[in-house]
Amino acid sequence: MQVRFWGTRGSIAAPGPSTARFGGNTSCVEVRASDGTVIILDCGTGARELGLHLAQTMPQPIRLHLFIGHTHWDHIQGFPFFVPAFLPGSELNIYAPIGFQRGLEEAMAGQMEYSYFPVKMRDLRSRIHFTELDEGFFRVGGVLVETQFLNHTAPTIAYRMTSDGATIAYATDHEPFWNASGRVSQHPGDERHIAFLKGANLVIHDAQYTDAEYRDKVGWGHSSIEYAVDVALAAGVERLVLFHHDPAHDDSMMEQMETMARAHVGRRGQALEVLAAREGLELQVLGSSAVPDMAEASALQHRRIIGGRVLLVSANDQEVAEIEEVLGDDGLVFLRESDMRAALSRGPELLPDIAIIDRELLDGDGDAVLDVLRDRLGRRNFPIVVLADSSIPSDAVYRGEASWTDYLSKPFSPPMLRTRVRAWLARTLMVFDPVERVAPRGEPAASVGDSRARRANLLATVPIFRQLSAEQRDLLLAGASEQTFAPGQVLIRENDPPDRLFAILAGRVRVLEIAPDSPVELIVGELGEGEILGELSVLRNQPRSATVVAVERTHCLVIPQSEFLKVLQGSAELAVSLLRMLAGRLYETDRRLSRFAPDPVTGLAGRRAFHDQYRRLAAVARRRKTGALLLVIDVLQLRSFNDRFGYGVGDDVLRTVADALVEATRTTDLIVRHGGDEFLVFFPDASSGDVDTVIARVNEKIKGLAGKRGIPVAITCNFGVAYAQSPPESAEDLLRVADQDMVRRRR
**107-117: string of b/e by CB count within 10 Å (b at 16+)?**
bbbebbeeeee
Residue among 317, 375, 377, 365 at smallest CA distance from 340:
365
Task: Read off the pLDDT of residues 27-50 as tens digits, 9 standing for 90 and up.
Answer: 999 999 999 999 999 999 999 999
> Is there a single domain that holds both residue 466 and residue 414?
no
DSSP result, 237-257: -SEEEEESB-TT--HHHHHHH
* pLDDT score recorded for residue 236: 94
Most confident of 231-240, 387-396, 412-421, 590-599: 231-240
In a domain, 388, yes or no: yes
> Is there a single domain that holds both residue 544 and residue 442?
yes
> Is there a single domain that holds both residue 109 and residue 254?
yes
- Residue 433 reports pLDDT greater than 80: no
> Is there a single domain that holds both residue 537 and residue 647?
no
In a domain, 402, yes or no: yes
CA distances from 109 to 122, 130, 298 (A): 8, 11, 26
Choose the final residue of a domain: 552, 572, 594. Answer: 594
* pLDDT score recorded for residue 391: 54
> Is there a single domain that holds both residue 104 and residue 252?
yes
More confident residue, 88 or 289: 88
Dihedral (CA of 656, 661, 667, 672) sign: negative
Show the beta-strand stretches assigned E in 186-268. Answer: 202-206, 239-243
Over residues 703-717, the mean pLDDT reads 90
- Residue 92 reports pLDDT greater than 70: yes
> Is there a single domain that holds both residue 24 and residue 92?
yes
Residue among 511, 650, 651 at smallest CA distance from 589:
511
DSSP result, 615-673: HHHHHHHHHHT--EEEEEEEETTHHHHHHHH-HHHHHHHHHHHHHHHHHHS-TTSEEEE
Give the CATH number for residue 564. 2.60.120.10
Query: Please, which pLDDT band fits residue 62 given cuts at 50, 70 and 90?
Result: very high
* pLDDT score recorded for residue 521: 55
CA dihedral 94→95→98→99, nearest 10 degrees, is -60
CA distances from 133 to 28, 155, 156 (A): 19, 10, 10
* pLDDT score recorded for residue 395: 46
Over residues 370-385, the mean pLDDT reads 88
Give the CATH number for residue 394. 3.40.50.2300
* pLDDT score recorded for residue 478: 85
* pLDDT score recorded for residue 723: 92
In a domain, 682, yes or no: yes
Choose the final residue of a domain: 594, 625, 643. Answer: 594
Average pLDDT, the chain: 85
Choose the final residue of a domain: 394, 428, 462. Answer: 428
Which pTM does this prediction carry?
Answer: 0.62
3-state helix, strand, coil in the chain (%, to 5): 35, 25, 40
> Is there a single domain that holds both residue 446 and residue 549?
yes
In a domain, 167, yes or no: yes
For strands 481-485 and 532-533, give the pairing.
Answer: unpaired
Rounded Cα distance, 594 and 199, in Å: 54
In a domain, 291, yes or no: no
* pLDDT score recorded for residue 645: 87
> Is there a single domain that holds both residue 220 and residue 106?
yes
Q: Which residues pair with 513 in a beta bridge?
A: 522
> Is there a single domain that holds both residue 588 and residue 623?
no
Least confident stretch, 56-65, 301-310, 341-350: 301-310
* pLDDT score recorded for residue 731: 87
C-alpha atoms less than 13 angstroms from C-alpha of 393 in its C-beta half-sphere? 17
Domain extent at residue 123: 2-284
For strands 127-133 and 91-97, give the pairing.
Answer: parallel
Rounded Cα distance, 115 and 138, in Å: 36
Rounded Cα distance, 24 and 15, in Å: 4
In a domain, 89, yes or no: yes
- Residue 149 reports pLDDT greater than 70: yes
Q: Is 210 helix (H, G, I), strand (E, B) or coil?
A: coil
What total of structural domains would you count in the chain?
4
Query: Please, which pLDDT band fits residue 630 given cuts at 50, 70 and 90?
Result: very high
Over residues 284-305, the mean pLDDT reads 72
**End-to-end Cα, the chain, rounded Å:** 77
* pLDDT score recorded for residue 740: 92
Show the beta-strand stretches assigned E in 359-471. Answer: 384-388, 405-409
∠ CA 124-128-134 to the nearest 5 degrees?
A: 140
Residue 153 and residue 175 in contact, taking contact as beta carbons nearer than 8 Å: no
* pLDDT score recorded for residue 302: 67
Residue 15 and residue 25 in contact, taking contact as beta carbons nearer than 8 Å: yes
Looking at 496-637, list the stretches that DSSP marks H as alpha helix, in order from N- to C-terminal side: 535-540, 561-570, 572-596, 607-624
In a domain, 289, yes or no: no
* pLDDT score recorded for residue 444: 39
More confident residue, 613 or 4: 4
Query: Please, which pLDDT band fits residue 204 given cuts at 50, 70 and 90?
Result: very high
More confident residue, 415 or 265: 265
In a domain, 140, yes or no: yes
Indicate the length of the chain as a whole number.
747
> Is there a single domain that holds both residue 156 and residue 18?
yes
> Is there a single domain that holds both residue 347 and residue 447?
no
For strands 63-67 and 91-97, give the pairing.
Answer: parallel
Give the CATH number for residue 662. 3.30.70.270
* pLDDT score recorded for residue 20: 95
Task: Read off the pLDDT of residues 448-484 as tens digits, 9 standing for 90 and up.
Answer: 334 566 677 778 778 888 888 888 888 888 888 888 8
Task: Read off the pLDDT of residues 639-655 as tens digits, 9 standing for 90 and up.
Answer: 888 888 888 888 899 99
> Is there a single domain that holds both residue 163 and residue 41?
yes
Rounded Cα distance, 2 and 30, in Å: 8
More confident residue, 668 or 14: 14
Rounded Cα distance, 173 and 151, in Å: 8
